[in-house]
Amino acid sequence: MNPILSYDLLRQEHAERLAQSHRARVREAARLTRQPTENVGRPPDPRRVQARPTSLVGALSAR
């Protein structure tokens, strides 16, 4: 194999691995900085929270 081609392939593989590890570090940092939402002691907003159907037929048709 041409040495220049193999060098370019190695550089490309290294760049892909570096980008992948960078994405993993960014995801992990974002996961660690996420804070759980505080419970402010008020009932859930009925316009935003929808009750789940209790019957199996309703549950299957809701998806």
Per the structure, the complete domain to which residue 19 belongs is given by: 1-34
- The span from the CA of 7 to the CA of 31, in Å, is 36
Q: Are 53 and 62 in contact (CB under 8 A)?
A: yes
Residue 14 lies in a domain: yes
Question: How many structural domains does the chain have?
Answer: 1
pLDDT of residue 40: 63
Residue 27 lies in a domain: yes
Residue 41 lies in a domain: no
List the one residue out of 45, 14, 36 whose CA is nearest residue 6.
14
pLDDT of residue 28: 93
pLDDT digits (tens, 9 = 90+) for 1-37: 678 889 999 999 999 999 999 999 999 999 888 866 6
47: confidence class by pLDDT, cuts 50, 70, 90 = confident
Residue 1 lies in a domain: yes
Residue 61 lies in a domain: no
- The span from the CA of 53 to the CA of 45, in Å, is 18
With tokens 């008020």, the residue in question is 42
Residue 58 lies in a domain: no
Residue 44 lies in a domain: no
Residue 2 lies in a domain: yes
pLDDT of residue 48: 73
